[in-house]
Amino acid sequence: MRRFLEGPAGTGKTTYAVEYLHRLLQEGVRPESILVLVPQRTLGRPYQLAASNPDWPDAAGVDIATFGGLARRGIQLFWPEIATAAGFVNAEGHEPIFLTIETAQYYMARFVDRAVEQALFDSINVARPRLIAQALDNLSKAAINEFSLDDVALRLSRAWSGHSSRLAIYQTWLEVAREFRQHCLDNHLLDFSLQLDVFNDHLLHNPLYQTYLNQTYHHLIADNIEENFPVTLDFIESRLPVLESALLVMDSDAGYRVFLGAEPLQAAQLQTLCDDHVVWDSSHIQSEPLQSLSTALDSIFSDDDLSDTPLPELDPSPFEAFTYDFRTFYPQMLNWACDEAIQLVESGVEPRQIVMLAPYLNDSLRFTVMNRLQTAGIPVVSHRPSRAIRDEPAARAMLTLMALVNQPADQLPPAPDTADALVQVIANLDPIRGRLLADVVYGATGRSEIGSFDAIQQTMQSRITYVVGERYEQLRTWLMDQRETVAQTPPDHFLRRLFGDVLSQPGFGFHTHLDAGTIAAQLVESAQQFRRVLYPDGTDDWSSVWVEYRTLVSEGLLAALHEESWHKEEANAMFIAPAYTYLMRNRPVEYQFWLDVGSSAWSERLDQPITHPYVLRRSYDMDRVWLDEDEFQAEWTMLRKLILGLTRRCGKQLYLAIADLGEQGFEQRGPLLRVFQQVLRSYGTTGVSA
């Protein structure tokens, strides 16, 4: 039986899929013969939690995987069979080395930097980390669509309608990509794109691997297929005829990962290959007013120019589903949102039932909101998966402490950096006393090392306080002890001990700080992956590796996906995140706050000069130029998906925080604001001034 189940978010599709899995196990199906395929590891969380349930004693063997994970395991298992045919040089006797996002960027940086030094990227103004990330993104787009590298450059060139200098940029990328790919083949390195290429071109149709697949997996559950890559959907299509059963689950009106290569239209076509097609449309999450609001919003998006075409009469009124406030200045808007959220918690709402969402979560917004809520005693967590780990204060503090242990005496971090680190890691140390402490302990030693608290004047000790001094001295003594073992200690071992021995202990800043603990874990994992990829056989002297790793992180390369950082919602804390990040958690809440509703960033995509998420799709005609009209339609379509996806994951009330002047002081009249103006004109008693 092959069933295709679709419906909007909140209709119980994943719950049904989990119950379907349970039924298979109860019927005696071997758990290791069941494959649960999800587009992103975090979307497999409901199945992981169910499989770990004590009431499901036989579920531990169920394989919950992404297509990338499946490819990686296959390559590891059949490496001797395919390595030479795939082009890897002297592969015999060598194991494959799988790159994370970070280590892939580390290697790609060599070839991008060479092109930058030759002024080959001078016609575009892009920061180095973004240039590296976009170069890798093009490789990924090629792999998930089964394009050649030449096809990518050709598609980008033919779709471009601007200045001809951009065409040379695409050719430069092509040369960089070829150099990077050859370097990977020469050194048995596999980034994400090469993993998929090797899997699809050399393993998937290998008779031995086909036999392995047929003997291993007899049942398939594929959830959120609308978020999958084309090659993943090809794989599902190829497996359907030979499976004993399959359940394909699709979220209507979703496809939030289009920027990453998702193909919801191709996913929908899989229904023609199934025996049964079921559509659910009754929400188990939304209140009736919110269901009316979703209906009204869907009607609005059927008209591209936001005209005053009458909307359907709805009962109850969509106006009951949301609360809004219009303030002149950006800080006033944030204060209103925080005040409302605090009142909700004081009225008995659990913090985990409240989320605060923005199109982008910059540092100032995040700090302002988190500081206000934490001051009110409300636990708060946030997540920004695209944020470089160096931008996290907790990570910068740990890297500064690394430098204090390993840098030469004349290259210690500047006093302001050390002061910031001390403020982060010593509990109840404010920035003023932190700077004072850093200045005096540096001065006590002439900057040969950080000096002892006991060596400074008693009056200064009193100003800093002896409690802080005791904690500082405990930290300093521990750091000085580590200097003796730097050459024998990998950087991830040091970071793990730093967190466990000192920073997580009572009296230190990470002791009860959820976000800091998560960032510390990410930094440890990042350093561990760096060591395993670049130094799999170890080294005689780790001190230079410390410097190399700190340099990599300080350059702003993105952190890899750390799955645990997506599970913070399991704590009873308010969640603050970019809107798309929240959607990919697939977790409904009772109350949502949308911050800065007037911003145009809700619909605009980031400018990516050397890649393009729409042009690099199978469905796009490679001979067609991408025009402004195409950009508008793409933005309008994604805004519709975003708004409907958010409202369908809201149970009771939506709060819209609107500022007349944005963070930079400019008037804001973005399309999201105009959409709700039309709702207010049709269903409300008052409107938001245009």
* 1, 4, 16, 614 from 276: Cα distances, Å: 8, 6, 15, 32
What is the per-residue burial (b if ≥16 Cβ within 10 Å, else e) of 364-393? ebbeebbebbeeeebebbbbbbebbbbebb
Contact present, 264 and 288 (Cβ < 8 Å): no
CA 215-216-217 angle, to 5 degrees, is 110
Mean pLDDT per block of 10 residues along the chain (690 residues) reads 96 96 94 96 91 83 96 96 94 88 91 95 90 96 97 97 94 98 96 97 96 97 98 98 97 92 96 97 96 94 69 91 95 97 97 96 90 93 76 89 79 85 92 88 64 83 89 92 90 94 92 81 88 86 88 70 53 91 92 96 91 95 94 94 96 97 88 93 62
**Phi–psi pair at 334, nearest 5 degrees:** -65, -40
> What are the extents of the domains in the chain?
2-71+199-279, 101-187, 288-386+571-683, 389-555
Measured CA to CA, the distance from residue 190 to residue 74 in angstroms comes to 13
Give pLDDT, residue 148. Answer: 97
- In CATH, which superfamily holds the domain spanning 288-386+571-683? P-loop containing nucleotide triphosphate hydrolases (3.40.50.300)
Cβ atoms 671, 286 nearer than 8 A: no
Kind of pairing, strands 63-65 and 97-98?
unpaired
Residue 242 DSSP one-character state:
G
Q: What is the pLDDT of residue 116?
A: 95
Tokens of 52: 């770990």
The pLDDT value given to residue 688: 46
Q: What is the pLDDT of residue 559?
A: 56
Residue 287 neighbours by CB distance under 10 Å:
17
* Distance, CA of 421 to CA of 437 (rounded, Å): 11
Q: Return the closest-CA partner of residue 221 out of 426, 475, 37, 24.
A: 37
- The Cα–Cα gap between 680 and 683 comes to 5
From the number of C-beta atoms within 10 Å of its C-beta (0-12, 13-18, 19+), residue 243 rates as: middle
> Angle CA(596)–CA(598)–CA(599) in degrees, nearest 5?
75
In Å, the largest CA–CA distance within the chain is 82
Q: Which DSSP category does 274 fall into?
A: S
Distance of CA 339 to the CA centre of its chain: 28
- Whether residue 431 contacts residue 419, with contact meaning beta carbons closer than 8 Å, is answered with yes
Q: How many CB atoms lie within 10 A of CB 544?
A: 12
CATH topology of domain 2-71+199-279: Rossmann fold (3.40.50)
Same fold, 2-71+199-279 and 288-386+571-683: yes
What is the structure's pLDDT at 679? 92
